[in-house]
Structure 1
Amino acid sequence: GEHGMATLNITTSSVLVDAMLDRMRRAYRNKPDEDHRGMHKYMADTAAAVLLTGTCDAGWLDNIKAEVVVTMPATMLTGEETGQAELPAGTLVDDDTALMLAGSVSSWTRLFTHPVTGVAVTADVYAPTAALRRFIVHRDRTCRFPGCARIAKHADVDHTKDWQHGGKTTPDNLACLCRHHHTLKHRLGPDEGWKVRQLEPGVLEWTDPQGQIRTTEPPPAPNAVKEPALVSAARRGERALRE
């Protein structure tokens, strides 16, 4: 590349890539407060340090275990169905790898989906599925912090009630926050910073440090975005009738 830079590409199993990226992201989230490198810079530096020295600069990466989440129907385990396992990003996982990973865990995660739309509405895991994230992004449209107009597509999906305090990965406890306001919410905490609760799915009530209350609601979504799965199902039904 230009200015003495270069790019290293690694092509391997999507399962391994998912685990490596998860480990790098966890490393970034646990970096020292005095380290001001951005996420991509920090992840690249940490990966380079591991490849060159076998360890990272801080030495704590060895204590972080990567997590691979694979979604599959129960019928795959009984041999009734094949080719249905996937990573959270929607990448398909071959049956042998999926069954091997399923056999190596000591517990299972329940995932409940809407019977009509197929969108995952709750799960016993921290990270929302790709389908649930898309739903929250389309619903919120922008960062939900008062006065912020950054688009939701590039925002974080935050648990309104923290996961570690019993918050669930459900639409009525998830909202889009840009990285700045996501960090602000968690760094100050409800005792010294902003308090927030979700009055109903997508309607957030914020209380600032001075006690003033502000409510933010997602802008109205086009009809085609509100229920994309239902629209698709209707179109499939129309085609079937014509045929």
Structure 2
Amino acid sequence: MDLLTPDEAAVLDGVVTALVEARRGIAAFQALEASLLASAMALGVSRADGSRGDGDMPVREIAAEIAAALRVSDRTVERRLVEAQRLATRFPATLIALTDGRVSRAHVDVIVAAGERIEDAGARAVFEQAVLVVAERESASRLRPVALLLAERVMPTTLTERHESAREERRVEVQDLDDGMAQLLAVLPAALAHGIRARLSAMATAVKDADPAESRSHDQLRADLLSDLLLAGEPSGHDADGQLGAIRAEVHVTVPVLSLAGVDSAPAVIEGSAPIDPDTARVLCAGAPGWERVLTHPVTGTVLAVDRYRPSADLRRTLRARDQRCRFPGCRVTAAHCDIDHVHDHAHGGATAHDNLAHVCRRHHTLKHHSAWTVTLTADRTMTWRSPTGREYPESPAPPGIAFTTDGDPPPF
């Protein structure tokens, strides 16, 4: 169904073109601002003289001058001076990409956050080169897990070593909020944290399904169920039929086979999230009821096939391993929460086969069927979304959690 007339589509086309150019201009001005702030920071650092005991006073002096001119807090300016210096000196290629409008400020923040722990300049440059390739085609939210994995690959120490140290910092805190509320913060190993949320989400969905009149949101239900479980030991306030207590968490982890065997120390990856250490991954695999073997291309990392030692819905697993998330550009809804959609409508002869199916979240599934947006899926698994204005947006499958390269090849992202 076409919702836009040709004239309306032409107007929208002009608006989108102008917005793209405006975003490039905004990125260029943000890069200019960062460069100017970095220059100011360099001036302050060069004037600092520890022997005089002035410490960071020159930087504070400069921050105060800029803050007064811009009518903002000098503490805010001082923080931005530090951030600008970090970007200009440690991530110069990223600053150039921002200047050119190839990435947004949000992409820059993700890149710097993932790579700031890489102390070796050469390793950081390798990371920056690889991550920018992904940043130029993905949204900032999708970039984050890939950036963390790419950063992990160039770290001088293994994730296992760093995880052992970080585990010592696990804790539970309470931070008081306004209006009689408080925030409960638990710092835990990633696999446990994701597992806890997954179980609470499954319970919340079960409560919603059991009572159509349930008015609480999933966030509210997760909070109420967490209170039940921690204070009563079971979801007593919600489990009238005894079903919720049987729900267990489901966490999907991709583990390199050599790491599973203890031969290598390459990290595993929680679906759609950050890397986890191989020791934790091996513990999770030991208790798993079944494993999926994912065959990937040796250079590109593209998922070619999935099989499993126990009979199940092979096609669904293959699609989930391939897609990992909604296939609309920029969307990060995980495959577990998406519909499996026939690209060519089944009602019009579309086959129920891997080359005609893809994961699409409910929002974009509805968009596909009830607007002028159209989709094609090619043999290399690229989905191309065509907008009402005629623009085409190719969407490749999510990069796999684990991929391998031959010597000298860049990372397959």
> What SS does the aligned partner of 2:279 have?
helix
Change in Cα spacing, 1:34 to 1:134, as seen in structure 2 (3 Å) is: closer
Q: Does 1:76 align with 2:259?
A: yes
CA distance in structure 2 between the aligned counterparts of 1:17 and 1:46, rounded to whole angstroms: 15
2:339 counterpart letter in structure 1: D
How far the C-alpha of 1:97 sits from its partner, in A, is 1.6
Unmatched runs of 5 consecutive residues or more in structure 2: 1-176, 307-313, 343-351, 379-383, 400-404
Which residue identity is paired with 1:105? A
Distance apart, 1:27 and its partner CA? 1.0
Of the candidates 183, 186, 196, which is equivalent to residue 7 of structure 1?
Answer: 183
- Shift in alpha-carbon separation, 1:171–1:43, aligned structure 2, 3 A: farther
1:133/1:157 contact within 8 Å kept: no
Residue 132 (1) aligns with residue 326 (2): no
Structure 1 unaligned segments of length 5 or more: list them.
Answer: 142-151, 162-166, 186-193, 203-215, 239-243
The one of 340, 360, 365 equivalent to 1:175 is 360
1:7 is paired with a residue of what secondary structure?
Answer: strand
Alignment deviations for residues 178-201 of structure 1 (CA, whole Å, 9 cap, x no partner): 29969xx9xxxxxxxx9xxx9953
CA radius of gyration, larger in:
2
| Contact 2:206 2:244 (C-alpha < 8 Å) held by counterparts | no
Residue of structure 1 equivalent to 2:200: 24
Contact kept, 8 Å, 2:341 with 2:358, in 1: the verdict is yes
Counterpart of 2:275? 92
Q: Cα gap change, 1:201/1:24 in structure 2, threshold over 3 Å: closer, same or farther?
A: farther
Higher relative contact order (CA 8 A, sep 6+): 2
Report if aligned partners of 1:71, 1:86 keep a CA contact under 8 Å in 2. Answer: yes
The offset of 1:61, in angstroms, is: 2.2
Q: Is contact 1:159–1:169 with CA below 8 Å preserved after alignment?
A: no
Q: CA deviation at 1:52?
A: 1.7
- TM-score when normalising by structure 1: 0.60
Identical positions, percent: 23
Deviations 1:93-129 (A, max 9, x none): 2222212222223421122435554244665549946
Return the structure number with greater helix share. 2
> What's the Cα RMSD here?
4.1
1:108 aligned to 279, 291, 315, which one?
291
Is the 1:83–1:92 Cα contact (8 Å) retained in structure 2? no
> What is the aligned partner in structure 2 of residue 67 from structure 1?
250
Q: TM-score, normalised by structure 2?
A: 0.38
Pairing partner for 1:35 from 211, 214, 220: 214
Paired residue type of 2:190 = S
